[in-house]
Amino acid sequence: MRAIWKGSISFGLVNIPIALYPATRKEELRFRLLRAKDLSPVNYKRVAEADGKEVPWDEIVKGYEYEKGKFVVLKDEDFQRVDLEATQTVDIQDFVDLDEIDPMFFYKPYYLEPQKGGDKAYVLLRDALEESKKVGIAKVIIKTRQYLAGVKAEDGVLVLELMHFAEELADTGKLHVPKKLEPRKKEMDMAKALIDSMSAKWNPEKYRDDYREALMELIEEKVEAGGKEIEEKPKPKKAPTKVIDLVSVLQQSLEKTGGAKKKTKRAAEHPPRHKKAA
């Protein structure tokens, strides 16, 4: 795995040389647009809206639309005037209780690996963050952009997680959400009982990308069939449901989840006996 950035973590007078590695990977399937008659890949062209003509790269400039249809052009020197010095430093400005931060602020994690001479300070910061349950709030410049970031201790590793600035989060006050609707006590009790019956220990391996796996299976079938059309399997039809009585729906859900749990428990206690081969 290649480091995408190298620099240091700085807090107070402490400086820790580190390398930044992606902590996640995307499993998206990539598709190309093709011409149907001969499966020739289709490429994109840069076309001007005014006359539909293709525009070469040397005639393209960057513009900001400040009003509908009105633009101001920004040149390379304009970007350089506001360019921040790339210090290669994760500059921790504050330490904050992790519980105080809304998880909505975090969006992209990276692993931090200590570089030569940084092991002792790395372990010191990692263990101190873990014991204090705090996160270092920092600013860092990666490539050409400044980010807000949190430095956290997770499973024995320091993690740099990029964060949204406050103005990037949409205002929930603009959503039409019921505020003064009080559920009946019986409904609340049954809802809590349903949540309790469906509660389980967190196991990330349990959850799979069913859509991607089904799509890959279909692709493999089409490859084996030489690209020919495959007969579509009939999908089970779901009976339409109308939520009229919330209590009865909750009761049915409780009975369903309770029955499923009992079956799982019985299966665990009495595993099936396999017949011996003749």
Domains of the chain by start residue, with CATH: 5-23+87-168 (2.40.290.10)
Is residue 115 within 8 Å of 17, Cβ to Cβ? yes
Is residue 97 within 8 Å of 134, Cβ to Cβ? yes
Instruction: Provide the pLDDT for residue 275.
Output: 44
Backbone angles phi, psi at 18, to 5 degrees: -140, 165
- The crossing angle, in degrees rounded to 10, of helices 185-197 and 246-269 is 20
Instruction: Provide the pLDDT for residue 196.
Output: 87
> 89-97 and 145-154: which strand pairing?
unpaired
Instruction: Provide the pLDDT for residue 119.
Output: 94
Instruction: Provide the pLDDT for residue 267.
Output: 54
**Residue 206: enclosing H or E segment and its boundaries?**
none
Cβ-based burial of 48 (10 A; exposed 0-12, middle 13-18, buried ≥19): exposed
Instruction: Provide the pLDDT for residue 114.
Output: 94
Backbone angles phi, psi at 58, to 5 degrees: -70, -5
CA dihedral 66, 67, 68, 72 (to 10 degrees): -40
State the pTM of this model.
Answer: 0.68
Q: How many CB atoms lie within 10 A of CB 42?
A: 9
Instruction: Provide the pLDDT for residue 261.
Output: 60
Length of the chain: 278
Instruction: Provide the pLDDT for residue 86.
Output: 57
Is residue 12 within 8 Å of 2, Cβ to Cβ? no
User: In a structure prediction context, what are the per-residue pLDDT tens digits for the chain, which is 278 residues long?
Assistant: 788 889 898 888 888 998 988 888 777 788 888 888 888 999 888 999 999 999 999 999 999 898 888 889 888 887 777 666 556 888 899 999 999 999 999 999 999 999 999 999 999 999 999 999 999 999 988 876 889 999 999 999 999 999 999 999 888 888 888 877 788 888 888 888 888 888 889 888 888 888 788 888 888 888 887 767 777 777 777 665 555 566 777 778 878 777 556 555 555 555 555 444 43
Side-chain half-sphere exposure of 278, counting CA atoms within 13 A: 0
Task: Quote the CA–CA distance of 94 and 152 in Å, as a whole number.
Answer: 13
143: left (phi over 0), alpha (psi -120 to 50) or beta: left
Instruction: Provide the pLDDT for residue 217.
Output: 84
Give strand pairing partners of 142: 145
Instruction: Provide the pLDDT for residue 164.
Output: 94
Q: Which residue matches tokens 């994109």? A: 44
Instruction: Provide the pLDDT for residue 173.
Output: 82
